[in-house]
Amino acid sequence: MANIAAQRIKREFKEVIRSEEVAKCAIKVELVDNNYTELKGEIAGPPDTPYEGGNFVLEIKVPETYPFNPPKVRFITKIWHPNISSVTGAICLDILKDQWAAAMTLRTVLLSLQALLAAAEPDDPQDAVVARQYKENLEMFKLTARHWTNAYAGGPSVNPECDDKIKRLVDMGIEEHQARVALSSYNWDLERATEQLFS
């Protein structure tokens, strides 16, 4: 890895570790290998959003050309969000693409992602299904996102109705995550989800 990238990441790593957000448990970074090319990030779901109470794990890959190119970041924790793929965790955020600037750091990236959770951009979606639900039925979107936060990110809000519908599909032999995706995509309409799964 180019020297400048390693040096910078090492400095930034210290910056994040010492930042007040870490003290408040809002963000966190950990090393994955000891040559600073891959890191594990973690952000707390922002308060007053469906993601509140959840912890979202991120994969951060630092390219050789860092900081001239942005770090490659994706969500490891499954999440229901218009700008994040519910399948791959890929993120649609301008600063991770064309709006990256060399003066940005790991800390600002993590804080931007946290801000993205609080303010989705459905008009620039990564996940079209989620984005459509967000625009057409905001309450349904919030319910689904909250359920996913509970199921994958350790969020506190349990929705027995969702769990029940998933269980019914699981009882039919559908894998749990697949059942959750189908139900989430069809606004928790059990009949339509079943139809899609078995057609």
Partner 1 sequence: MAEGSQNVTLSLAEESSINEFAAPEARFECPICLSWLRDPVLTCCGHRFCRNCIQGWLLKENACPVDNMKLNKDSDIFPDNFTRREISQQKTKCPNIVRGCLVELSPLDVESHLLVCEYRIPDNEKLKCNFANVGCKEKFEDEPQRQEHLEQNVQQHLLLLSQMYANVSVTPIQENASSTLAQGNFWDPPSKHDDEASSSTTSQSDNLQNLLRALYEKIVFLEQKSREQDIIIANMSEQLSNFQQNYCNGTYIWYFNDFSGKIKAMKDKSRTIHYSPPFFTSPYGYKMCIRINLCPRSPDHIALFIHVMKSGHDNTLEWPFTGKLSISIIHPSQPSLSIKDVMITPPNIEAFKQPIGDLNQKGFGYAEFALLNDLIKLGFVSNNQLIIKATASTI
CA atoms of 84 and 18, how far apart (whole Å): 28
> Looking at residue 73, what DSSP letter applies?
E
- DSSP per-residue letters across 174-196: --HHHHHHHHHHTTT-HHHHHHH
Nearer to partner 1, 58 or 131 (CB): 58
Residue corresponding to tokens 């790991």: 106
Instruction: Tell the smallest beta-carbon distance from residue 67 to partner 1 (Å).
Output: 6
Instruction: Tell the smallest beta-carbon distance from residue 92 to partner 1 (Å).
Output: 19
**25 catalytic, yes or no?**
no
Out of 5, 73, 92, 131, which one is annotated catalytic? 92
Among 20, 33, 123, 139, binds partner 1 (CB under 8 A): 33
Q: Does 3 bind partner 1 (CB under 8 A)?
A: yes
Burial 77-99 (b: 16+ CB within 10 A, else e): bbbbbbbbbbeebbbbbeebeee
Q: Does 94 bind partner 1 (CB under 8 A)?
A: no
Q: Does 67 bind partner 1 (CB under 8 A)?
A: yes
Residue corresponding to tokens 């809002």: 26
Among 14, 97, 135, 177, binds partner 1 (CB under 8 A): 14
Which residues would be at the binding site for partner 1 (CB under 8 A)?
Answer: 1, 3-4, 6-8, 10-12, 14, 17, 30-36, 67-69, 99, 101-104
